[in-house]
Amino acid sequence: MADSSGEFVRSPNHFADRITSDGSSRWPVEPGRYRLVVSLACPWAHRAVIVRGLLGLEQAISLAVVDPIQDERSWRFTLDEDGRDPVLGIGFLSEAYLKADPGYTGGVSVPAVVDVPSGKLVSNDYPQITLDLSTQWREYHRPGAPDLYPEPLRAEIDAVVEPIFRYVNNGVYRCGFATSQQRYEQAYEGLFAELDRLSERLAGQRYLVGDSITEADIRLFTTLVRFDAVYHGHFKCNRHKLSEMPVLWAYARDLYQTEGFGETVDFDHIKRHYYQVHRSINPTGIVPLGPDPRAWLTPHDREVLS
């Protein structure tokens, strides 16, 4: 929602409990106990889908996918038989929120980690969820799983992702949901200034930090993969399309063509959610047919930077 100045303000994550391996929280790491609820349309949830798959945690943490179209009760399980999640037995994600806090009246967001035995929401703290999958669930990673948050690089990763969140991940929303020209222009300038900085950084190196994929790349990818399909037109982020920014376009295609990335992208869910749910921006609800997703499979030639 926008404040009195017209600036989009993202709501804080109300549920920030952590699942830990050392007994420091009330939620222990336990395979089969938790269910990750996501929307394939949502960039914040998309991060968790990618990390779960790259680390091989599919058997340890089950996955639920909600309908990309919300109603007044927010995310719903209408893709499942009888409109109920087969594991949690609920029709709306809000039911897990209310089991955790019966007096809760805030928004319902994904990703959400739910405790299956109690049906209670554990966390909707999307930045911490993926970090904990990398660090707390290490015992259950597949053999040879990548280290997406290596200790020697954590300070650099944290420093790189902070402006990515501020100006890119959240910046596109600050453009799209601004209600004043001034706030929109400020967000627009910040977004493209950061994309220019990232282009310079990636011109000579394949990944954002170090010589392999890290949490930083995943956080940037989920915004970039939605850029031309949604943010360029729908959110008025239209200085350039991603496909007109050579370095970032090649970088994004490189990740898309990496196992664990492209197969998690659902452009149908992405476009239907943004264009049909955000009626204040797109009153007709018409979903554009383009762009052609086959462009994501064209050669990127970034292997030479490895």
How many CB atoms within 10 Å of residue 69? 16
Q: Please identify which of the residues 42, 140, 167, 237 carries the catalytic annotation.
A: 42
DSSP class of residue 25?
S
- Closest C-alpha to 14, from 103, 121, 124: 124
Q: Provide CB contacts within 8 A for 23, sequence distance 6+.
A: none
Q: Is 296 annotated in some ligand binding site?
A: no
**Cis peptide bond upstream of 150, omega within 30:** no
Q: Please identify which of the residues 104, 149, 173, 207 carries the catalytic annotation.
A: 173
Compute CA distances 206 → 17, 214, 251, 305, whole Å. Answer: 34, 11, 7, 5
Q: Tokens representing 140?
A: 């259950």
Q: Which helix (H) or strand (E) holds 35?
A: strand 34-38
Is 287 in contact with 230 (CB distance < 8 Å)? no
How many CB atoms within 10 Å of residue 28? 13
Cα separation of 273 and 265, whole Å? 14
Cα separation of 54 and 260, whole Å? 6
- Closest C-alpha to 32, from 58, 66, 65: 58
Reply yes or no on whether 173 is catalytic: yes
Cα separation of 67 and 156, whole Å? 36
Reply yes or no on whether 275 is catalytic: no
Active site residues: 42, 173
Binding residues: 75
Binding residues for glutathione: 75
